[in-house]
Amino acid sequence: MKRKFSYTILFSALFATIVAANMLIFDKEPPSIPETNEPDYTYLSKYTPLSHFDHHFREAADTLQYDWTLIAAIAFTESRFDSTAISAAGARGVMQMMPKTMRGMEIPDSLHMDSRTNIMAAAELLASLEKHYRYISNPDERLNFVLAAYNAGFGHINDAMRLAHKHGKNKYRWNGNVDSFLIYKSLPEYYTDTLCRNGEFKDWKQTLSFVKKVRRHWKRFSKRQEEYSDSIKELILTDSTKRIMQ
């Protein structure tokens, strides 16, 4: 019994040979099989972004015993996260550092507006102020003095502390004590006192406001981080199919 010749098989073999030869002649790759895409996942960062400088704030916080959101709160209060800001007094950058202070840290003028340098310099200043007021045992109270000195300079804050002590107030407490005598340093009968080594201080409103604003923004930023952390915990508990970036 003779087998029937299959023209279909012959034609298929001939076509395959032509295609293979064409690939060799023109050095072409055979068409690839499309890959199956992974299903979409929801990626979550491990904190809520506050600014474009968060990575610098977090790096700077490594040198301090502060929450990184506190440094962010100082930056927001000082410049609203504006790295190009220059105040009327000459303070520069996102942390509003004074050129004189940065030169004292041996930072060249060309880097004064560099965001990372500006933030790290501020962190160094905060660390030095923390050390300066280490004798104030209550850390929450000590923070008030550190913030006030960051804004006004520790010389004026130290003058106010000496005046508070002289007039029977607690020189280790800010509210209702040292802050009042920082105000009095705008009056001749106080800033001419021999205890005042840094003379008159007119910008007390700015300093008192600065301390309050930083604390308010810090509380808000910290709460935002806590709420986000709680939402991630809830997500993990309720939906194990989500991929979480830790």
Please report where in the chains the tokens 């000082």 appear, as a residue: 78
Q: How many helices (H) and strands (E) does the chain have?
A: 10, 0
The pTM of this model reads: 0.75
Q: 241 lies in a domain?
A: no
Q: How far apart are CA 215 and CA 49, in angstroms?
A: 19
Q: How far apart are CA 135 and CA 53, in angstroms?
A: 32
Q: 97 lies in a domain?
A: yes
Q: 96 lies in a domain?
A: yes
Within 10 A of 158 (CB to CB), how many other CB atoms are there? 20
pLDDT digits (tens, 9 = 90+) for 24-73: 444 445 445 445 454 444 444 556 789 999 999 999 998 787 889 999 99
Within 10 A of 116 (CB to CB), how many other CB atoms are there? 15
Q: Which of 27, 46, 21, 42 has the alpha carbon at shortest distance from 241?
A: 42
- pLDDT of res. 88: 93
Contact 59, 71 (CB under 8 A): no
- In Å, what is the CA distance from 83 to each residue of 69, 75, 97? 17, 9, 11
pLDDT digits (tens, 9 = 90+) for 106-118: 999 999 999 999 9
Q: 18 lies in a domain?
A: no
Q: 14 lies in a domain?
A: no
- pLDDT of res. 65: 76
- pLDDT of res. 230: 64
- pLDDT of res. 207: 98
- pLDDT of res. 231: 62
- pLDDT of res. 99: 96
- pLDDT of res. 42: 45
Q: 16 lies in a domain?
A: no
- pLDDT of res. 12: 52
**SS3 per residue for 80-124:** CCCCCCECCCCCECCCCECHHHHHHCCCCHHHCCCHHHHHHHHHH
Contact 142, 94 (CB under 8 A): no
Contact 94, 116 (CB under 8 A): no
- pLDDT of res. 139: 95
Q: How far apart are CA 25 and CA 20, in angstroms?
A: 9
CATH number at residue 171: 1.10.530.10
Sign of CA dihedral 27, 28, 30, 36: positive
Q: Is 200 annotated in the active site?
A: no
The structure tokens listed for 133 are 């007021």
Q: 27 lies in a domain?
A: no
As averages over each run of 10 residues, the pLDDT of the chain (246 residues) reads: 48 51 48 47 60 93 86 96 95 96 96 96 95 96 98 97 98 98 98 97 97 96 78 58 46
Pick the catalytic residue: 35, 78, 189, 234?
Answer: 78
The residue range of the domain holding 160 is 54-234
- pLDDT of res. 1: 46
**Domain count within the chain:** 1
- pLDDT of res. 2: 46
Q: 29 lies in a domain?
A: no
